[in-house]
Structure formats: structure tokens, C-alpha cells
Structure 1
Amino acid sequence: MASVGLSLTPKEILLPFQNRRLLAASLLANFILVPLFAYLLLLFFPLGKGMATGLIIVSFAAGAPSLPKIAELTRGNVAYAVGLMALLMVATVVWLPLVIPFALPGIAVNPAATAYTLIIFMLIPLVACLGIRMRHEAFAKKVYPVMDAITNLSIVAIFVIFGIAFLSRLGDFFNAFTGTGAVVMAVIFVIGAWGIGYLTGGPVREERTVLGYGTGFRNVSAALLVVTANFTEPTIILMVLAITIFGVVICGIMVGVQYCRCLQADSPV
């Protein structure tokens, strides 16, 4: 979040608010339609309590930091991607502590602990670094490459650590129908979430593409913070990791295909 704050300006953050239709579609897709899609999946394909909890938490967590880079690779609207990323991140920090207790009835969730964790680890670093960027732009531009490298290394480390944890419990994950159903559910969820964003993104391809990946890639950092603040059941984390891994694989392939098409379009005939 620190590197994101150092890279943004208030003008970039406020950009999504200029197009009210696109703003409404972005919020509707990420915070209403994607969670509803998750509930529909659970209605038709019931999972164990832990797996279902993980799916619901991920469905409400929006704002992947990789969105601007994806927009750049796929020739999407980069300015919209930057503003959308910031908007969804802040909205997720506010929305998750409020909605999770109601979204998971019968499951003990501490809204205060959830809010505290998200504010400390996400909102405060974002706001503080936005302030630095506003007041000391030259310094922010110098520090940003270092913070960005640290962020990338941290993301890699998190994926390695949790990937090892995921693989160590792979047998449990694939255990009988529950595990197999969870894998299928994770794949369907990622594809469906991407489709929701793409279909609600409007007539402009550059914006449609950005919103598709904005819904397909969920905010795994926020989801994991909520999980660690409230739960100890390993299957919840396993489901979050499964959706993350399949999201990276599926959306990564789609980004690669679009990027190759863009290169072919640019190359002389």
C-alpha cells in the first residue's frame, strides 16, 4: 500500500468519479454482483463451512494492486485502472468490516479487529504515502522504485510461503468431493467474476477490459488480513489461496493472449 500511495496523485484517484456510469458499474460489479455470484455458486454447489467462508470473504475483497500494469499490457484505459484500483482498495477497507458479520451469519466475526487490521496495514500506509506524494513529489518519485521493489519481493515471499502451505495441505484440499468441488468452484468463480466485470464495463473496450480484470483479480491481501484477524481454520486460508492461484493462472493466460494480440496488431504486415 505504501508503494501505491507514492505512485498516485489526487487527480488520478478522483478520475473514476468523473464518469458516473462507469463508477456505478465498477462498485456494483465488485461489491454486489461478484458476492451474489459467490452465493449462487454455494447455493447450487455447497461446500464445507471453511471453504465457503473463504469464498465469501474473497468475493467482497476488491482492488488488486496489479490492475494498472495489466491495463498497460492489454491496452486498457490505464488512467481508469489506476483510479479504479485506489477506489476499490479504500472501499474494501471500509466495506469489509461492515459487511462480513452480516455476510457470514452464525460465524463469529470481530468487526473491530477486522477494521483495525485493515486500517493499520492498508489504509494508514496508503494515506500517509499519498500525503508524502502531495507534499514532497520529488522525494516520493525517488523513494518509489525502492518501495515498489520491496512490495514486489514481499508479494513473492507471501506467495512462496502460502504456496508451500497450500501444497503441504494439498491432500486435504483434494480430499473426496469437498476438495474437488472447491477446485472447480475456485475456477468457476474466477472466470465468472471476470465475466461480470467485462459485461458491466460498458461499450468502450479499454474500460471493459480493465473492469473485467478488476473483478477477476481479487484483493488477496485484504482477504488474508480478514482471515488472520478472525479465523484459525486452515481450510479458509486454503480456499483464499486456491482462488488466488487459479486467478493468477487463468487471468494471467488471458492477459498473455491479449498482449500477444496487441503486439501482432502493432507489427508491420
Structure 2
Amino acid sequence: MNQASNLALLTLIVALVIVYFPELARIFSTAAILAVVTFVTISLVVGYVLGGPGRGTKRTLALGTAQRNIAAALAVATFNFTDPDVMIMIIVVGVIGLILLIFLAAEMGKLGMAAAIDQMTHD
């Protein structure tokens, strides 16, 4: 079921991008992208600051806090809004947030691996 739900979500996102492509293109000419990056960054920082004493826990909570639940947001938007801009912004937040978080998680992983190697070589 997990694979089926992931495939359904991916299909929905691709279909929404195709249907709303002109509106998506319009968003890139506004400050919406800056708002998305700011939102994801603030969420990441709040998760890190409130993540407790351990560095690993801080990193995990930072990424978890910044990750948006696209499926839940799309469900709420579908039943409560008729304006297509709502769906478009959910997709933009989800995709840009995912790209940013994948990059940050990879960097955090490299830092974690580098620290572990450094720790082993100094012991």
C-alpha cells in the first residue's frame, strides 16, 4: 500500500503540474519562491533549535519539521478551496522544500560521516 500511495501522490503531482503549468510559470515571476524558501528555512531552524541536546536528534527533527505533508495539504485544499492558486502553492512548497531538504540531508550526512571518520582516526 505504501508503494501504491506514493505512486498515486506522484501521479497527482505530475497531473497538477501539467494542468496548472501556466500558473506555475507565473509563480516564478513573483516573490512566492522567496516565501517558500524562507518558510522552509525557518521551519528547519525551529526544528533544529528545539531538537534537544544531541546533534543527530537536532538534525533529524530539523529535517522532519521542515518537511511538509503534501498529501494532507492537497486533501485539505481540495475540499476547502476552489482557487487553483492554493493547489499550485502547495505543489511549489512541496517540490522546492523537497529539493532543499534532499540537498541539506546529503550535506548533513557528509558532515556526520566526516565527523565519524575524524573521530575514528583520532582514537
Which band: TM-score by shorter chain?
Answer: 0.7 to 0.9
| Matches of 1:238 and 1:208, distance apart in 2 | 31
User: What is the one-letter code of the residue matched to 2:109?
Assistant: Y
Pick the aligned partner of 1:256 from 102, 106, 109. Answer: 106
1:61-82 Cα offsets, whole Å, 9 max, x none, are xxxxxxxxxxxxxxxxxxxxxx
Alpha-carbon distance, 1:241 to partner: 1.2
Contact 2:40 2:66 in 1 (8 A): yes
Alpha-carbon distance, 1:197 to partner: 0.8
Structure 1 residues 259 and 164: CA distance shift in structure 2, 3 A = farther
Structure 1 residues 227 and 203: CA distance shift in structure 2, 3 A = same
Residue of structure 2 in register with 1:153 after alignment: 7
1:107-147 Cα offsets, whole Å, 9 max, x none, are xxxxxxxxxxxxxxxxxxxxxxxxxxxxxxxxxxxxxxxx2
Residue of structure 2 in register with 1:242 after alignment: 92
Alpha-carbon distance, 1:213 to partner: 1.3
Structure 1 residues 165 and 210: CA distance shift in structure 2, 3 A = farther
Q: Percent identity?
A: 29
Residue of structure 1 in register with 2:32 after alignment: 182
Contact 2:17 2:24 in 1 (8 A): no
1:38-62 Cα offsets, whole Å, 9 max, x none, are xxxxxxxxxxxxxxxxxxxxxxxxx
Alpha-carbon distance, 1:160 to partner: 1.8
Where structure 1 has 5 or more consecutive residues not aligned to the other structure, the ranges are 1-146
How many residue pairs get matched? 119
Stretch of structure 1 that moved more, 246-255 or 206-215: 206-215
Structure 2-normalised TM-score? 0.81
Contact 1:166 1:241 in 2 (8 A): no
Contact 2:9 2:71 in 1 (8 A): no
Contact 1:194 1:216 in 2 (8 A): yes
Structure 1-normalised TM-score? 0.40
Where structure 2 has 5 or more consecutive residues not aligned to the other structure, the ranges are none
Residue of structure 1 in register with 2:60 after alignment: 210
| Matches of 2:19 and 2:69, distance apart in 1 | 19
Alpha-carbon distance, 1:163 to partner: 2.9
Residue of structure 2 in register with 1:192 after alignment: 42
Q: Does 1:219 align with 2:69?
A: yes
